[in-house]
Each structure stands twice: as C-alpha cells, then as structure tokens.
Chains A and B, each alone.
Chain A
Amino acid sequence: MPAATASISSSAGIGLRPPHYRAILELMPAVSFLEVHSENFFGDGGQPLKYLARLREDYPISTHGVGLSLGSTDPLAVDHLKKLKRLVDAVEPVLISEHLCWVGVNGRFLNDLLPLPYTVESLAHVVQRVGEVQDFLKRAILIENVSSYLEFSESTIPEWEFVREVANRSGCQILLDVNNIYVNAVNHDFDAHGYLDTIAPGSVGEIHLAGFQDTGEVLIDTHGATVSDEVWRLYEYAIQRFGCVPTLVEWDTDIPALPVLLGEAEKANGILAAHAQRAANAA
C-alpha cells in the first residue's frame, strides 16, 4: 500500500455530491476521504471549487472522472485532459481515477459509461491511452471496471482478464467496483468470486460500493439504493483477498439525506475493522 493512501485505508470514504455540500460542511462527518466527479469541478471558478477548496482543508480528496472516454477511438480530448490537470494541480487528490469504458465516438458524446468489446485490439488501445493520460498527469491513475448490460460478440477476453491486463501493462491500479462485478456476474452469468480471484492483491488501489436496481430482466447500476447483501458479502471476500483498501460508497440518483450514506460507510468500516483485527490476531 503506497504511504499516501495508507491514511484512507482503514475506514471508508463517501462520494461527494452537490446535495450534500452544506451538510458535510456543517456536520464534518468522520469519513476518511471524499471523492468527487472530476467534471463537476471543471468550471473556471465559483461555488463548486470554493466548496472543494474548503473541504480539502479537512479531508483527503479523490477525483473520479466520468467523461475522459478512455476507450474511445477518437483522439483523447486535450481540453478535457488539461482541465483534469488543472483540477489535479489545485486539489492534489490522493487518488485519481477513470472508467474502463468509452463515452462517445466520431465527436459525439453519449455521456454514458459504455462497455468495450474485450479483444486484443481494445486492450492494446486502452493500455496506450492510459499511458498517455498518466504521462500527461505525471501520475499513476486508477481504472474502474464498469457495469454492463451487454457483451459484444467479438469479445475474446473475459472481463476480469482484460481488467487485470490493463493494469499489468499500463502500470495503473485497479479501482475495483464490487457492485459492478456483482451486477455483471448476474447480467452475464459468471462467478463474481472467481473474478476477484483473478485480480492480483496489490493491484487494487480502491474499492467502490453502491446500490443497483433489479428490473427483472437485468441489474442496473443505478447508484440509487443501499448496497445489497450479496455485494456486502462480495466486499468482505474482496477485503480478505486484497486487504484494507481505500473504500468508497457512492450514491448518485435519488440521493438520500447524508446520514443514510454515512450509515453505508459505517457498514464498510465494520468489515474493514474486522479484517484489521483478524490480521492483527494472525500476526
């Protein structure tokens, strides 16, 4: 575990969303870090950046991008990268992450985390792009596995191998979204625990937790509910395998009052503490 993230590994952080700005400033809850969507702070000034500057005095900040379109075959958007760099320079985030996906092509953005076909060609492309971003930022980033509701026929590599190889070959770390693994395991009928078994301990720099919605035909990664029991169990398994990794609870739709989100972080804290205790006993 890099020293910089050791301080945020023993208890969970929460995703910082606009409806909670004020409540967090008032309550100053004991969370280990706050994660923001990078693009929400791409503006030149004003309230969002003022709040963030204030919060970074008390919390480590992690920046999580949703719009870089790493997997797109369009050229990397230099203006987007520059804005990310500007934010990174201002905030000095403890972690910088993006998604293993594409969000647009041919100049048109769909602004959704679209899955890639998992092929040798895609892998080479993504590895190249992650390298370009890391060179630009002069820092390693983390790449998150996304939830998906389809698989491309041309895919020849299982998702877990693809994720592992992106990290191996680009030198980035993995932001393992345990909820996304569970959602995909159900949607695409694979073994979620087997997925985790493929990922090397040491390559996971952060874990995400969130809630999904079961529509009856697929699980949709809505980030709009509490973390499901199955995902908590998978998280426990992940912590046993990867150790106490910085953990973040996200909530993006139907955002509840802050205490509900903090309650979810508390649950993660319990799992992290139990693991730390077991590790201490074993040592």
Chain B
Amino acid sequence: MASLPHMRNEPRMLRETQTAFAASLIAGDSTAGSRIRAGKLPSARRLEIYRHNVMSNLRGVLKDIYPVIFAVVGDAFFLHAADQFILTHPSRSGDLNQFGGDWSAFLATYPHATDLPYLPDVATLEWAWHEAFHARDAPAFELGRLAGIPAEEHGELRFMLHPAVRLLQSRFPILRIWEVNQASHAGEMVVDWDSPAKSLMIHRDVADGVSVLIDQISDPGYAFLQALRTCATLGEAATVALDIDATFDLQGFLLESVQSGVIVDFVRERL
C-alpha cells in the first residue's frame, strides 16, 4: 500500500462532526441532532442552547463596539439587525475584537435602516473609535530631529500620523449624534440635521496616550492629513490643503498636529 509519510492522520470523523454541528447551528436546524445523545433533553433543544449562546455572544460584541447605534435604534431593532449581520458576516477570528468591521456596510444595505441614512456613518465612527482604542502606541515627535534639517528641505519631508489616527467625513451630524448618545451626556438631545458636512479626526489623547478623542477639524486640515496618510510630502500636502482654502493656517495646523500627538514622526526618503 502506498504510504504518505509526510501526512498526518487526518481526523476525518471529527471534521465531519464539527462541520455538521457548525452548519446546524448557523442554519438553526436540527440536522446535526442525530450526532447528539438525547438523554434528558431532545438533541434539537441542545443544539438550540448552543445556537443561543453563539448568537448572544456575538450580539454582545456588536453591542460593545457599537453602543451609539444601540442607543439610537433600541433593543429590538438592534437584535434583529445583529442577527442578520452575524449570519451573513461570519466571524473569522478567535479574537472577537476583529469581529464587526463590516457593520457599517451592512447597515447601508439593511432594508429596515433606509429611514435612518446616517446609521452607516455613525457605525464607521464607532469602528474607527474601536480601532483607535487598540492601535499601536507611538513615541512623541522628536522636535530636535526636525531642527537638525535645513528649513528649505522641510517641504520634502514625509510626516507620519500616529497609528491610531482615523479620518472621516460625513454629510450627517454624526459627532453630535455620538455625543448626545453617550452615557455621560447630560443636557439637550437636540441634533441639528441641517448642519453642513463635517470632517472628523479620531485620535488618542496625547496627555495619557490611551483615551480616544473625536475632534471636528477643518476641511483643508482634513485634506492635509489625508495627504500625509498617503505618504505625500509636506509640500504636496500643503498644496492640497491650500487649494481648498488659500487662507488655511498651515504652520499653525502642523504645529498643533505635532503637539497633540497626531503627527509623530517623519522620514526623508524619496518614494
């Protein structure tokens, strides 16, 4: 008999059982019931217990990452949407912090959310917050390094954003929606739906290095940081920002970005 010396014995029976069990849980049927001892409870009921556990774990993850969406739409809406999402967007990791990144895209096509067109952008904001919370730490900008470079070469430098920085724009007042739905919010709940589109920056507080902040920034400031994000030189990013608003205080914005830990480094390489 031909042997396959490099191949381990595949646990074929185990794989079949796991495949059938998982399929039954996802489908919510009892086809895997024949593989389960009934005992005091019917095997279909035992499968239901596991399905319930799986669904409630994942719902809980979405609720933790998207508390504002939950506050806006309420329990029943959220659970229905979450269940649809969980079944159509499988978790791909044993690390649940990776789960739920497609929630915004899902809400954009979720039929029951058509009357709430701002929901996807709120979800994008909450996912950005989640990413910023877990992002890599970065040491503060070393101004001394910059001082060592002749001023006429500064335009060629490529400034780098802190790994936690996320930039987003919305035609909806999502920052206000976010604020009034915080547990700590006291006072008026009024949202001005006619306010103009806004540019937002999510980043970590330079004071403690870990608290996540959401700031409204100017459109040229937004364009400037976006350009830096795509590895533009300072000169190129400045042009993009000044094209939007010739009066943009570039120097002031750059300094503020360094001081607030949004810009943390630079490189001199030509790309």
B111 within 8 A of A: no
A138-173 Cβ-contact flags toward B at 8 Å (1 or 0): 000000000001111110000000000000000000
Interface size class of chain B, counting residues whose CB lies under 8 Å from the partner chain: 35 or more
CB distance from A150 to the nearest CB of B (A): 4
Report the separation of the CA atoms of residues A104 and B15 in the bound assembly, to the nearest whole angstrom. Answer: 11
Q: Is the CB of B49 within 8 A of A218?
A: yes
* Interface hits, B1-43 → A, CB 8 Å: 8-15, 17-19, 21-22, 25-26, 34-37, 39-41, 43
Task: Check: A92 CB closer than 8 A to any chain B CB.
Answer: no
Partner among B13, B50, B94 whose Cβ is within 8 Å of the Cβ of A150: B50
Given contacts A150-B37, A151-B36, contact A102 B18 (CB under 8 A): yes
CA of A117 to CA of B163, assembled, Å = 44
Q: In this assembly, does B259 line the interface, its C-beta being within 8 Å of a C-beta of chain A?
A: no
A73 within 8 A of B: yes
CB of B93 within 8 Å of the partner chain: yes
Interface positions, chain A 49-102, Cβ under 8 Å from B, are 49-50, 65-69, 71-73, 77, 80, 83, 102
Complex-state Cα separation, A50 to B35, whole angstroms:
46
Q: Which B-chain residue is minimally distant from A186 (CB atoms)?
A: B40
Are B53 and A112 in contact, CB atoms less than 8 angstroms apart?
Answer: yes
Q: A105-B22, A112-B50, A122-B11 are in contact. Are A46 and B164 (CB under 8 A)?
A: yes
CA distance A109 to B99 in the complex (A): 10
Q: Does A1 contact B (CB under 8 A)?
A: no
Are A111 and B13 within 8 A (Cβ)?
no
Known contacts A77-B93, A102-B18, A114-B50; decide if A153 and B39 are in contact (CB<8 Å).
no
Given contact pairs A67-B94, A80-B94, A149 touches B46 in the complex (Cβ within 8 A): yes
A44 touches B163 (CB 8 A): yes
Residue of A46, A50, A116, A217 with highest tally of chain B CB at under 10 A = A46
Contact between chains at B46 and A117 (CB < 8 Å): no
User: Across the interface, do A73 and B46 meet the contact criterion of CB distance under 8 Å?
Assistant: no
Q: In the bound complex, what is the Cα–Cα distance between A150 and B17 (angstroms)?
A: 13
A200 and B90 CA atoms in complex are apart in Å by 40
Assuming the A-B contacts A102-B18, A121-B14, A149-B46, are A44 and B135 also in contact, with contact meaning beta carbons closer than 8 angstroms in the complex? yes
Chain A interfacial positions (CB closer than 8 Å to B)? 39-40, 42-50, 65-69, 71-73, 77, 80, 83, 102-112, 114, 116-117, 119, 121-122, 124-125, 128, 149-154, 188-189, 217-218, 220
6 A-B pairs closest in CB distance:
A67-B94, A43-B134, A45-B137, A44-B136, A47-B210, A73-B15
For the complex with contacts A66-B94, A117-B14, 19 further pairs of A-B residues with Cβ separation under 8 Å are: A42-B95, A44-B134, A45-B136, A46-B135, A46-B137, A46-B164, A48-B134, A50-B209, A65-B94, A72-B18, A108-B92, A111-B96, A111-B99, A112-B53, A112-B57, A119-B13, A121-B13, A128-B8, A151-B39
